[in-house]
Each structure stands twice: as C-alpha cells, then as structure tokens.
C-alpha cells in the first residue's frame, strides 16, 4: 500500500513539475488559473519570473527525491528523510493557507483561482500532505 501511495505522490509531483517548467519557458495554458488575484481585481497577487518558476520545479523534484528516500528507493542522505517531513508540513501549510488569498481559510473567494483553490488545489495539497506523512507509519 505504501508503494501505491508513494507512486501516486510522485506522479502528481511530476505533473506539477512539468507544468512549472512549461510555464517557465513561456507556456500560457492554465496560467491565468494558477495565481491568486488581488481582491476585487483581475490582477495577479504575484507574477513569478522564469527563474522563480524553475526554482519551484527544482524544489518539487527535491520533494520527490525525499519521498523516494523514505521508501528507500534511493540512497541519498538522511537529510532527505527530514525533507519528507518538511514536504508534508509545507503541503499542509499550503492547504491551510495564509488566510487571505490561498488555502481552505481564505477570505477572497470570488476569483476563478479562488474557486479552483477551494475545489482542487487546497484539497490536493492536503492529500499530498496526508499521503507523505502516512509513508512514515
């Protein structure tokens, strides 16, 4: 069962990495739906550049390596096991959110992003968090 959970997490992370690399190199598909909008506006709260978007992709790859380390599919460093705890915690914090634009407890709820965040992004982050935590037990 742990193998299935780990593979599912790795597939999801892989898809998210591919999307970030695509956006970093100028892809536009779904780009208007992945950043929170300013309250009462269609302007994005932030617009990351190419390097920041690639950095997210790299960090997500490291998250995947930490899952693989927990499963002993790779032999890297004990720090990657701690990284898996950090990864699960980061996804949990993302699901909870920062109480204004992202997460289950956001106040700005009328944008397309906010609706997708409620229905898809935050539940996905919670699923990833629970799944990664479950690999330790």
pLDDT digits (tens, 9 = 90+) for 85-109: 999 999 999 999 999 999 999 999 9
The Cα–Cα gap between 84 and 114 comes to 28
The predicted model scores a pTM of 0.93
On average, the pLDDT of the chain sits at 95
* Of the candidates 127, 104, 137, 136, the residue with the CA atom closest to the CA atom of residue 13: 127
pLDDT (mean) for 126-131: 98
Give the separation between CA 17 and CA 6, rounded to whole angstroms.
16
pLDDT of residue 131: 98
Contact between 13 and 63 (Cβ < 8 Å): yes
| CA–CA distances in Å: residue 77 to residues 16, 33, 46, 70 | 24, 37, 34, 10
């Amino acid at each position: 069962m742990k193998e299935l959970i780990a593979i599912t997490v790795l597939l999801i992370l892989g898809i998210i990495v591919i999307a970030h690399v695509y956006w970093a190199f100028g892809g536009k598909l779904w780009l208007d739906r992945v950043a929170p909008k300013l309250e009462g506006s269609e302007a994005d709260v932030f617009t990351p550049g190419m390097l920041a978007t690639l950095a997210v992709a790299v960090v997500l790859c490291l998250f995947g390596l930490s899952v693989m380390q927990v499963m002993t599919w790779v032999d890297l460093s004990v720090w990657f096991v701690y990284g898996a705890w950090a990864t699960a915690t980061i996804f949990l914090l993302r699901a909870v959110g920062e109480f204004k634009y992202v997460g289950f407890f956001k106040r700005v709820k009328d944008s397309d992003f906010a609706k997708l965040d409620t229905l898809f992004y935050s539940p996905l982050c919670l699923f990833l968090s629970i799944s990664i935590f479950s690999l330790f037990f």
